[in-house]
Amino acid sequence: MITIASRKISRTLSTLAVAALSVLGSSAMAEEELKPAARQWGIYAGGNLGVGAAQWDCDVSCDRARLSGKVFGGKRLTPGLAAEINYMVFGGMERANGSGQSAATNIAVERRSVRALTAGINWEVELLEGFTNQIRVGWAFKRIDSDLVEPGVDGVERSVRDYRQAPYFGVGLAMNITRDIRLLQSFDYIIDGKDSLYLFSVGASAEF
């Protein structure tokens, strides 16, 4: 009788031990599943290529649109808000003045290229799963390099470099390809009166 009782107790203890191990194993798996994914640095970078245009007053002729682009990087402050910088390159644009405008400005032809550094914020709002709307606001620092041809037979040419500042605004649409890779479509606008600049571009970004 003692032997039978001992066996029953042994079986009961074995069953309890297996049950306890199962519970512990399930708890460990659940805890592992509930652990958040490894935190990223919240840094992203990318580049766009497209068409840049100047809001010039055209007289005789005007070539305002050129191949242009930008590179950019940002640091996320929250999941939907980031501090961002952009470096934009606008290709060489050209305009020619008529005799009246040439006499008034002493410029017959102007060839211009612009570089711009912008600093601001990028606000993102998810529209649909995998698609995000972007709104960018900030300040732009422009460097304008101009080659000016004076009117007259000699057509004396001189180079001028100017620096300007202006507010900056941009919108875009991002489509997730993977968790960290996006395709982008963007419109950027440097608001500076008759020296305003537009950039329509597409590109990609990666997040780290």
A 10 A CB-CB count for 84 gives: 22
Measured CA to CA, the distance from residue 30 to residue 33 in angstroms comes to 5
90/31: higher pLDDT: 90
pTM as predicted: 0.76
- Give Cβ neighbours of residue 51 (< 8 Å, ≥ 6 apart): 65, 66, 67, 68, 199, 200, 201
Measured CA to CA, the distance from residue 26 to residue 187 in angstroms comes to 51
pLDDT of residue 11: 57
Backbone angles phi, psi at 108, to 5 degrees: -90, -40
**Model confidence at 9: pLDDT above 60:** no
**Model confidence at 5: pLDDT above 80:** no
What pLDDT, in 10s, does the model give residues 146-164?
999 988 767 788 999 999 9
What pLDDT, in 10s, does the model give residues 67-82?
999 999 999 999 999 9
What pLDDT, in 10s, does the model give residues 43-59?
999 999 999 999 887 88
Helix-, strand-, coil-residue percentages of the chain, each rounded to 5: 20, 60, 20
| Dihedral sign (CA 124, 127, 130, 133) | negative
Rg of the chain over Cα atoms, rounded to whole angstroms, equals: 31
What pLDDT, in 10s, does the model give residues 104-120?
888 889 899 999 999 99
